[in-house]
Structure 1
Amino acid sequence: MTREVPPALAGSKRRLQGNSLARKRAKTRHHTADALPWKVVARPVEAGMGGDDGILELEEVDDVEVVYEDTEGGRVVTFNVVGSEPTAEDPEQELITEDAPEMSPSPEDDEIHQPDPFDSVNLLPNWHSYSLHPQLLRVLHAKGFLSPTPIQSAAIPFAMSDRDVVGVAQTGSGKTLAYGLPILHRLLACGRPSSKVKRQLGALILAPTRELALQVSSHLNACLNAVGDIEFKKGKAKQTDKPAETRSPPLVSVAAIVGGMSSQKQRRILDRGVDVLVATPGRLWDIMEDDDDLSKQVKHLKFLVLDEADRMIEAGHFAELENILRLTLRKSKVDQIEPEGNEEEEEPVRDGLQTFVFSATLSKDLQRNVKRRSRPKPAGKYNKREKPASTLDDLLLRLDFRDPEPEIIDLSPQGGVVSTLKESKIECLSADKDAYLYYFLLRYPGRSLVFLSSIDGIRRLMPLTELLNIKAFPLHSQLEQRQRLKNLDRFKSTPNSVLLATDIAARGLDIPAVDHVIHYQIPRSADAYVHRNGRTARAMHKGFSMLMCSPDERRVVRALLGSLGRQDTEIAEMDIELNLLDKLKERVQLARQIETTHHKIKKANHDRRWMKETAEALEVELDSDFMSDSDEDKPSNQKRKAKDLKNASLKVELKRLLAQPLVARGVSTRYITSGSRPIVDDLIAGEFNEAMVGIKKTEAGNDLVVGKKKKGLATKAAAKEPDEEEWQGIETA
C-alpha cells in the first residue's frame, strides 16, 4: 500500500509496504508518520527514478497498514504497525529509534565488534605507525592513499594522544582526514552499539557553508563503507547500488545537517541517533532550540571540530555559533553548589572533550578588508577594547580548549601560494573585462571557476555566456540548495565549462580538475584570495590563477598582495592576441545589446503585469495605456514590435559572427602551408585550438610575459606582421 507525502518533506517519496490484511489486523499499533521506522533504500532505475528528477532519496518501511477513519473533524489517516506491542514499562515507546527488521543486528553484534586484521606493515607501511582501525586502513589502501600528507602526518599523532590541535595548511592538503581519521578510529574502537539503545552524539563538525558540510559528510561516510561496496573506475571510488537489505548497518553513523533541505527529515535522522554530526551553525541552532536532548548531547561531546574556523569567527558572522560553543564550555567548581566557607580557586571540571581547529588561513592581517581606506594608528597606543591581534587569539577566547597548550601546526606556504600554482594578471578597463574573459575561455578551454564579489555580477554575466555559446553555471547564496548542488554536479561532469560563483565556493570545496581560477572581481581580503586560488592546484596538481585588474583596482591589488608580503610586480601578465581580441569585442558588444533590449522588454512586461494584478486586487480601473496588448494601433505596441524586430536582427548578426572562424594574424585562409604562421604541423599533430585558427593549443601558464617591456616589444612585432589581405596580395604576385 502506498501513499504520497506532501512536498514539505524535501520532495522525497516514501512507500508503505505491508502484508495481507488478516496478518496486519492480528497485531497493530497506531503511529504517526514521523514515528515509523523509516530506512533509506536505493532508487529503482527501472522505474525511471534513478536520474536527476529532483528526488533526493527514498525511504521505506515494512509491515504498516494505512487506515482511513471518518470522524466528525473529517477523514483521518492513521498507521498501524504490525507486530509491535507497547510494553508496560514504556507504553509510548517510539519505533523511530529502532532499525528495520532486515537491518537489525544480531545479538552477537551488540558485543564489541572484532574487526578482521589488516596487514598494514606490507600494504601501508607509511600508515602503520599510526595504528589506525583496520576498516580505515582498508579504505585508505583501496583508494590509493598510500602515504599521509604533511598536515596528516603532523596532526594525527597529537590527535591520537588526546591533544587539542590547531592546524593551518594549504588548501587541498587533506585537512578533512587529518581530523576525520582520529575521530573515526576512536568511535570504531568502541564497537557496535546495541540496537536497543539510541546512538549518542560523539563528534560535532561545524562548517561555514552547506556545500562544505555535505562534502565533509561524504568523505567521512566513504571511510566507513565496506571495501566490497566500493567500485573503482579510473582511480576514483564509487558506491555500488547494492540492495539495502544486503548491507549491514554502519558501525559509526555520520549525518549532515544544513539549511535549504527538509528540516523534518533532518529531525528524524537526529531522533534515530547519530555518532558524527556535520552541520552549519544556522540550521543546527534552529533544531537545537526545539530539541533539548540534542543540546544535552552537545554538552557531552567527545570531539569538537571547526573547519575553516577563521571564516566562522569573523565579526558579524554566524551569531548562532556563539550559542553552540557556549554549550561546550566547562563548568567551574565555583559554579557548583558547595558548602559555605569552603572557598577555593576557580578550577574547571575536567572532561573528555577534544577540540580540532583547521583552516588554510589563521591570520588577522589576511582578513582585513583591503577595499576600505584606513589610516595607520600611532605607535604605542593600544586600546583594551580592540579586537585581538590574531585569529588564534579569537579562538582562545571563544573556545574552551581542554588542553592547556593546544598543539599549533602551521604548514601554510609563504605568500599564501602553493608551489604548483601559476599566477597571472590582465590589466584592462572595467568595460573590457567581458571581452578579455571571453578571449581567455576560448583560448584556454577547460574547467574555469570565475569568482565575483556580487550576485548582480553573476546575473549579468549569465545571459552573456548563453548568447556566446559558453556553458556556464551559477552558484550563489540566493539559489535554492538543490539548484546549487545540481550546478556543482554539472560543472564537475562537464569538461569545458564555467562556474560563475561568489565566495561561497571559495572555501573547502574539493572540485576535481579545476584548470583555471579567474578573479573577475578582486576579493575584499587576502584570505579570500588564498582560498579562491585553493580551488585549483590541489593535492600537488598543476593550477592557474588570473587576476583581472582595472585601473581603479590597482590600489586594492597592491594592498591585497601586501598583506601576503608580496609585490604586485611579482605577478606576470598574460600574452594576448590583440587582433583576435578586437574581433571578440564585436561579439560581446552585440550580446550586450541583445541582453539590454531583452531586459528592458522583460522589465516592462513585468511592470505591466504587476499593475494589472494590483489593480484587480484593489478593484481599480486602469488607464487605457494598460489595456489589452491586442490593439495593434497603439503606439506602445508599435514600439514594442520595433524593439522585437531590432532584437531579432541583432541575434541574427551575432549568430553570423559566431559561425565565422577566428583566424589569427599571419594565417593564410587560402593556403594552409603559407603565411607567417604555417599551421600544417599543428593540424597533423593535433595541437591546434579548435576555436582559434592558427593558435597552438597550450596551457595558460605557458603564455606569461615577464615584464612590461618585453610585452611591448612583442606587441610591436605583431603589429608589423602583414595582415590577411597583404599576404593574399603577396601570394598572387
Structure 2
Amino acid sequence: MTAANNPDYQPFLDNLPFDAFNEMQLAFFQKAASSNEVILLAPTGSGKTLAYLIPLVQQLQEEGPSKKALIVVPSRELALQIEQVFKSLKTGISSCTCYGGHEMKVETNRLKDNPGLVLGTPGRLSDHVLSGNIEPDNFSLIVLDEFDKSLQLGFHEQLNMLFEKIKGNPQFYLTSATLLDPLPDMLPNRDWETLDFLKNKSSTNLELKLVRTSSVEKADTLLRLLADLGGESTLVFCNHREAVNRISQLLTENNFAHALLHGGMEQIDREKNLIRFRNGSQNILIATDLASRGLDIPEIKQVVHYQLPTSEQAYIHRNGRTARMHASGTGYLVLAHDEHLPEYLTKELPEYHVPADFTIPEPPTMECLYISGGKKDKISKGDVLGFLTKTGGLKGNEIGLISILETATYVAIPRHKVSDLLKNTSGQKLKKVKVKLEIAN
C-alpha cells in the first residue's frame, strides 16, 4: 500500500513538526500512486519537497534495494535542504548528495555503496556520469525539483546528457513554481499529468508598501527602513551581487547585524549565512534572487525589494518568502524618484514614510556557535544536545537549531550564555572527539 492510499501517515508525521499533510501534498500522494509522470505546480513555501519525498520513500521501502531514486535540483543550497528533510524522516534508506564545492572523492566513495537515493545539482551529477560513478538508467524514479530554475540557470546541456542516457522507463516527478508551456523538448515524451496549485500563489495576507526616495539617498533610506522595522526577520533583495556587497558594507559601518547571500560567495560562507538566518542569530539577510526560491528559509516578517526584478515571476517568488501558508507579511518596494515601477505592477500601492531619526537595533538574542566536528565524526543532534547540557551547562530549551555539516556543526544559543559555555566546554570531548567551540564568523 502506498502513502497516497494509506490514511495513516503517523510514521512520517512522528518525525515532522506538524500533525497533518496539506491539501497539495495529499493530492500529490494520490496522483503519484496512479500516474507514471506527474508535474506539480505550486508556489514557493507550499511544501513541494515533502509532497514528492513521501511517495518516493514509500516506493523505495516497498521494492527494496533494487529500487533507486534520483533527485535533480538547481542549487547546492536546495540539495542540502532536501538532504536534511530526507534524513529527518528517519527512513533508514542510504543517500548521497552531490554538489559543487563538495569533495568529489567523498561523493565517489559514497556512490560505490549504491545508495537508495542520489540527489544533486546538474553540473556535479553530470561530472559523475562522465566519470562512470552514476548510471542514469539505473534509477526507477527521477525527481526534477524546481525544474524551471534549472533551465533558467542554463543547465540545458547537463540535463540533456542525463536524459539521453536513460533508456528504461523510470517514473518522473517534476516540480516547478511557474507554468512550463510548452514543456522543453529535452524532457521524455510522456503522458504528463499536471497538478496546478499556482492559483494559490497570490497571498491575501501579503501587504505591499511603496517607499520613495532619491537615488542619492536610496541606500541610507534602506538603512533607516531596516532600523524602523526593529531588526525583525527581514529579507532584502538586490538584483546584483555588487549591490548586496555595497549594502552589506553600509550596514557593517553602522554596526547593524546582518548576513548576506549571493552566488559569488564561497560555498561554506553561503551555508553559514543561511544557517545563521535560519537559527535566528541573524535577522537581516541581504541577498540576490538566489534566496527567492527553493530554500528552507524560516517564516519571515518582511521582504524588501531594494531593486525590483524585471520579471513578474521573480517578483512573485521573492514575495513568496513571506506571508507563506496562513501567515501574514509585508513587502516594501524601495523606489528612487528617477526609477519607474515595472509594467507588471499595475495596482497603486500605499506609500510608507521612513522616519528621519533611527536607532540601530540590538543584535539578535541568539548567537551562532561553531563546533569543530560534524558528520564525518558521526556526530548527531542528540550528541550535540547532550554535550551542551551536560558539559556546557545549558538547559535543553535554551538550545536552538542545530545544523550538522560534513566537518562542522553550528548551533544557536542565547547570546548571554556564550561566555560561560565556552569556558565549560574548553578542551572537552564531544563523542570521544576533542572539539573546539567558538562564535561562528
1:211 aligns with 2:77: yes
Call closer, same or farther: CA 1:552–1:275 in 2, change over 3 Å.
Answer: farther
Q: What letter corresponds to residue 347 of structure 2 in structure 1?
A: D
1:304 aligns with 2:179: no
Q: 123, 130, 146: which is aligned to 2:5? A: 130
1:425 aligns with 2:204: no
Q: What letter corresponds to residue 559 of structure 1 in structure 2?
A: E
Q: 326, 329, 337: which is aligned to 1:540? A: 326
What's the secondary structure of 1:510's corresponding residue? coil
Provide the aligned C-alpha RMSD in A: 2.5
Call closer, same or farther: CA 1:541–1:506 in 2, change over 3 Å.
Answer: same
Residue in 1 that maps onto 2:59: 186
> CA–CA distance in 2 between the matches of 1:440 and 1:572?
15
What's the secondary structure of 2:274's corresponding residue? helix
Call closer, same or farther: CA 1:217–1:392 in 2, change over 3 Å.
Answer: farther
Q: What letter corresponds to residue 273 of structure 1 in structure 2?
A: N
> CA–CA distance in 1 between the matches of 2:112 and 2:11?
31
Call closer, same or farther: CA 1:442–1:584 in 2, change over 3 Å.
Answer: closer
Matches within 5 A, 1:246-645: 250=92, 252-291=93-132, 294-295=134-135, 298-314=136-152, 316-328=154-166, 330=167, 351-362=168-179, 391-395=180-184, 397-402=185-190, 404=191, 406-413=192-199, 416-445=201-230, 446-494=232-280, 497-554=283-340, 557-561=341-345, 567-569=346-348, 571-577=349-355, 581=356, 583=357
**Higher mean Cα deviation, 427-436 or 499-508?**
427-436
Q: What letter corresponds to residue 361 of structure 1 in structure 2?
A: T
Call closer, same or farther: CA 1:399–1:128 in 2, change over 3 Å.
Answer: closer
> CA–CA distance in 2 between the matches of 1:454 and 1:558?
17
CA deviation vs aligned residue, 1:64-102 (integer Å, no higher than 9, x gap): xxxxxxxxxxxxxxxxxxxxxxxxxxxxxxxxxxxxxxx
Q: What letter corresponds to residue 252 of structure 2 in structure 1?
A: E
> CA–CA distance in 2 between the matches of 1:221 and 1:533?
29
Q: What letter corresponds to residue 139 of structure 1 in structure 2?
A: F
1:170 aligns with 2:33: no
1:139 aligns with 2:5: no
> CA–CA distance in 2 between the matches of 1:550 and 1:452?
14
Q: What letter corresponds to residue 342 of structure 2 in structure 1?
A: R
Q: How much does 1:282 deviate? A: 0.8
Call closer, same or farther: CA 1:319–1:572 in 2, change over 3 Å.
Answer: farther
Q: How much does 1:470 deviate? A: 0.8
CA deviation vs aligned residue, 1:331-374 (integer Å, no higher than 9, x gap): xxxxxxxxxxxxxxxxxxxx541111112212xxxxxxxxxxxx
What's the secondary structure of 2:24's corresponding residue? helix
> CA–CA distance in 1 between the matches of 2:85 and 2:189?
26
> CA–CA distance in 1 between the matches of 2:153 and 2:87?
33
Gaps of 5+ in 2: 361-441
> CA–CA distance in 2 between the matches of 1:442 and 1:353?
52
- Normalised to the residue count of structure 2, the TM-score between the two structures is 0.75
Q: What letter corresponds to residue 174 of structure 2 in structure 1?
A: V
What's the secondary structure of 1:504's corresponding residue? helix
Matched positions, count? 359
Residue in 2 that maps onto 1:149: 22
Call closer, same or farther: CA 1:440–1:523 in 2, change over 3 Å.
Answer: same
What's the secondary structure of 2:112's corresponding residue? helix
Larger gyration radius, structure 1 or structure 2: 1
> CA–CA distance in 1 between the matches of 2:15 and 2:264?
39
Q: How much does 1:201 deviate? A: 6.8
Matches within 5 A, 1:644-655: none
Contact 2:122 2:155 in 1 (8 A): no
What's the secondary structure of 1:181's corresponding residue? helix
Contact 1:165 1:409 in 2 (8 A): yes
CA deviation vs aligned residue, 1:204-237 (integer Å, no higher than 9, x gap): 1111111011101111121125xxxxxxxxxxxx
Asked which structure has the greater RCO (Cα within 8 Å, sep 6+), the reply is: 2
What's the secondary structure of 1:148's corresponding residue? coil
Call closer, same or farther: CA 1:287–1:531 in 2, change over 3 Å.
Answer: same
Call closer, same or farther: CA 1:487–1:258 in 2, change over 3 Å.
Answer: same
What's the secondary structure of 1:558's corresponding residue? coil
Residue in 2 that maps onto 1:651: none
Q: What letter corresponds to residue 202 of structure 2 in structure 1?
A: V
> CA–CA distance in 1 between the matches of 2:4 and 2:145?
26
Q: What letter corresponds to residue 572 of structure 1 in structure 2?
A: P
Q: How much does 1:537 deviate? A: 2.1
> CA–CA distance in 2 between the matches of 1:551 and 1:568?
18
> CA–CA distance in 2 between the matches of 1:220 and 1:315?
25
Q: How much does 1:155 deviate? A: 1.4
Q: What letter corresponds to residue 148 of structure 2 in structure 1?
A: D
Contact 2:38 2:195 in 1 (8 A): yes
Q: How much does 1:162 deviate? A: 3.5
> CA–CA distance in 2 between the matches of 1:496 and 1:475?
12
Equivalent pairs: percent with the same residue?
31
Call closer, same or farther: CA 1:181–1:441 in 2, change over 3 Å.
Answer: same
Residue in 2 that maps onto 1:79: none
What's the secondary structure of 2:182's corresponding residue? helix
> CA–CA distance in 2 between the matches of 1:152 and 1:455?
35
Q: How much does 1:524 deviate? A: 2.6
Contact 2:35 2:193 in 1 (8 A): no
Q: How much does 1:317 deviate? A: 4.3
> CA–CA distance in 1 between the matches of 2:262 and 2:152?
20
Residue in 2 that maps onto 1:661: none
Contact 2:13 2:20 in 1 (8 A): no
CA deviation vs aligned residue, 1:267-320 (integer Å, no higher than 9, x gap): 1111111111111001111121111x512xx11321111111112223844531
Q: What letter corresponds to residue 421 of structure 1 in structure 2?
A: L
- Normalised to the residue count of structure 1, the TM-score between the two structures is 0.46
Q: How much does 1:457 deviate? A: 1.0
CA deviation vs aligned residue, 1:1-32 (integer Å, no higher than 9, x gap): xxxxxxxxxxxxxxxxxxxxxxxxxxxxxxxx
What's the secondary structure of 1:284's corresponding residue? helix
Q: How much does 1:157 deviate? A: 0.5
Q: How much does 1:584 deviate? A: 5.5
Call closer, same or farther: CA 1:128–1:358 in 2, change over 3 Å.
Answer: closer
> CA–CA distance in 2 between the matches of 1:188 and 1:276?
11
Contact 1:517 1:533 in 2 (8 A): yes
Call closer, same or farther: CA 1:485–1:495 in 2, change over 3 Å.
Answer: closer
Gaps of 5+ in 1: 1-116, 118-126, 194-199, 226-249, 331-350, 363-390, 562-566, 588-733
**Higher mean Cα deviation, 419-428 or 213-222?**
419-428
What's the secondary structure of 1:524's corresponding residue? coil
Q: How much does 1:413 deviate? A: 3.1
> CA–CA distance in 1 between the matches of 2:177 and 2:152?
15
More helix by share: 1
